[in-house]
Amino acid sequence: MMAKKIKITKDGPYLVSGNVPLSKETAMIGKEGEPETWKKGEKYPEQENYALCRCGMSKNKPYCDGTHAKQGFDGTETCDNEKYLKKAEKISGPGVDLTDAQEFCSSARFCHLSGGTWSNVEASDDPKCKKIAIQTACNCASGRLVVWDNKTNKPIEPKFEQSIGLIEDPQAGASGPIWAKGGILVESADGKQYEIRNRMTLCRCGKSGNKPFCDGMHITAKFNDGDESLKR
């Protein structure tokens, strides 16, 4: 079987290869009024190869329909290729540590729950706080936040099948990024490989200032892919 890969094309779509499962992923609000769980939605038909819209303007979302060329989309990749740990700040806690690379934030806001990931890391000698710290960091779609077992010095990561989620954020009234899960290789238009991470969010609204990664601009832009959850 072909390795799963996302190839970025110059000012054009993401070419996905290797039969990568594709489905919707909706951010669900919990009792505290904050995003708390992810809900898998509609599954798209299996395809060995497909092209996902990157400019946000396709009439056939999530797929590319060639509009990027007519509209003169500038998809220049402005994110440098520095490794996650080089970008991340480390916060040490008594039960777990946290690394935080703010640049990757896609504004999914799961880290706001129960006082926030950071304060729960700081209080992680309390098992309840440790659990919240782990849960909220693991729900961070972009992988900005990673919790570490401070005894083994290993990251605590959710287990994912290699797949792509199309994020919907009804609370913000916007569709969100492409969620590449499980360590899919992402290759730039000029052939360089981005660091493989378990959780990555790639811009599909066309507005990020940190391409190819999402920087949360889809919320300001009220990017809407026509999902039912945004019609309420």
Contact region with ligand FES (CB under 6 A), list: 21-29, 37-45, 59-67, 215-223: 215-223
The number of residues that bind ligand FES (CB under 6 A) is: 13
Please identify, using beta-carbon distances, which residue of 111 and 133 lies nearer to ligand FES: 111
Please identify, using beta-carbon distances, which residue of 138 and 202 lies nearer to ligand FES: 202
- Provide the β-strand partners of residue 98: 91, 147
- What token pair was written down for 99? 């690394």
CB of 208 to ligand FES, least distance (A): 4
- What token pair was written down for 37? 């769980």
Please identify, using beta-carbon distances, which residue of 4 and 207 lies nearer to ligand FES: 207
Which residue lies nearest ligand FES, judged by its C-beta? 214
Please tell me the distance from the alpha carbon of residue 73 to that of residue 86, in angstroms, as a whole number: 30
Please identify, using beta-carbon distances, which residue of 25 and 215 lies nearer to ligand FES: 215
Q: Does 215 bind ligand FES (CB under 6 A)?
A: yes
Among 35, 75, 170, 177, binds ligand FES (CB under 6 A): 177
Please identify, using beta-carbon distances, which residue of 14 and 148 lies nearer to ligand FES: 14
Return the HEC string of 70-108.
HHCCCCCCCCCCCCHHHHCEEECCCCEEEEECHHHCCCC
Please identify, using beta-carbon distances, which residue of 138 and 203 lies nearer to ligand FES: 203
Strand, helix or coil for residue 205: coil
The dihedral through the CA atoms of 198, 9, 228, 111 has a sign that is positive
Encoded one letter per residue, x for contact with ligand FES by CB under 6 A and - for no contact, window 194-213 reads: ---------xxx-xx-----
How large is the greatest C-alpha to C-alpha distance in the chain, in angstroms?
A: 56
Beta-carbon count within 10 A of 222 CB: 12
- Which residues in the 87-116 window bind ligand FES by CB under 6 A? 106
Please tell me the distance from the alpha carbon of residue 135 to that of residue 202, in angstroms, as a whole number: 22
Please tell me the distance from the alpha carbon of residue 122 to that of residue 101, in angstroms, as a whole number: 17
Q: Does 35 bind ligand FES (CB under 6 A)?
A: no
CB of 218 to ligand FES, least distance (A): 4
Which among 172, 204, 223, 152 is positioned nearest to 22, based on CA atoms? 204
CB of 118 to ligand FES, least distance (A): 22
Q: Does 217 bind ligand FES (CB under 6 A)?
A: yes
- Which parts of this chain interact with ligand FES (CB under 6 A)? 106, 176-177, 203-205, 207-208, 214-218
